[in-house]
Amino acid sequence: MLIVMQSGCSEDNISNVIKFIKQKGFDAHVSKGEEHTVIGAVGSKIIDKRDIELLNGVKEVIRISSPYKLVSRVFKPDDTIVEVNGVKFGGGNIGMIAGPCSVESFEQVDACAQKLASYGVKILRGGAFKPRTSPYSFQGLGEEGLKILRKAADKYNMAVTSEVMEINQIPLFLKYVDIIQVGARNMQNFNLLKNLGEIRKPILLKRGLSATIEELLMSAEYIMSGGNRQVILCERGIRTFEHMTRNTLDLSAIPVVQKISHLPIIVDPSHSTGLRDKVAPMSKAAVAAGADGLIIEVHNSPETALCDGAQSLYPEQFNQLFTELKALANVINKHF
Ligand code: PEP
Ligand code: MN
Give me the pLDDT at residue 44, please. 72
Pocket test for ligand 1, best of 101, 206, 267, 294 (most atoms within 8 A of CB): 206
pLDDT, one tens digit per residue, over 123-167 is 999 999 999 999 999 999 999 999 999 999 999 999 999 999 999
Q: Is the beta carbon of 127 within 6 A of some atom in ligand 1?
A: yes
Ion ligand 2 contact residues with beta carbon within 5 A: 101, 308
* Mean per-residue pLDDT of the chain: 96
Per-residue confidence band for 215, with pLDDT thresholds at 50, 70 and 90? very high
Give me the pLDDT at residue 294, please. 98
Residue 324 burial (10 A CB sphere; 0-12, 13-18, 19+):
middle
- Answer yes or no: pTM beyond 0.75: yes
| Distance separating the N- and C-terminal Cα atoms of the chain | 36
CATH number of 82-331: 3.20.20.70
pLDDT, one tens digit per residue, over 180-214 is 999 999 999 999 999 999 999 999 999 999 999 99
Non-local CB neighbours of 274 within 8 Å, separated by 6+ positions: 245, 246, 247, 308, 310, 311
**Yes or no: is domain 2-62 CATH 3.30.70.1140?**
yes
Tell me the average pLDDT across 257-263: 97
- Domain assignments of the chain as residue spans, ordered by start: 2-62, 82-331
Q: Is the beta carbon of 183 within 6 A of some atom in ligand 1?
A: yes
Pocket test for ligand 1, best of 112, 186, 236, 306 (most atoms within 8 A of CB): 236
- Ligand 2 centroid, distance to 263 Cα (angstroms): 24
Closest residue CA from atom 10 of ligand 1:
184
The Cα–Cα gap between 224 and 239 comes to 27
Q: Is the beta carbon of 302 within 6 A of some atom in ligand 1?
A: no
Per-residue confidence band for 64, with pLDDT thresholds at 50, 70 and 90? confident
Tell me the average pLDDT across 231-252: 98
pLDDT, one tens digit per residue, over 17-53 is 999 999 999 999 999 988 899 999 988 777 888 999 9
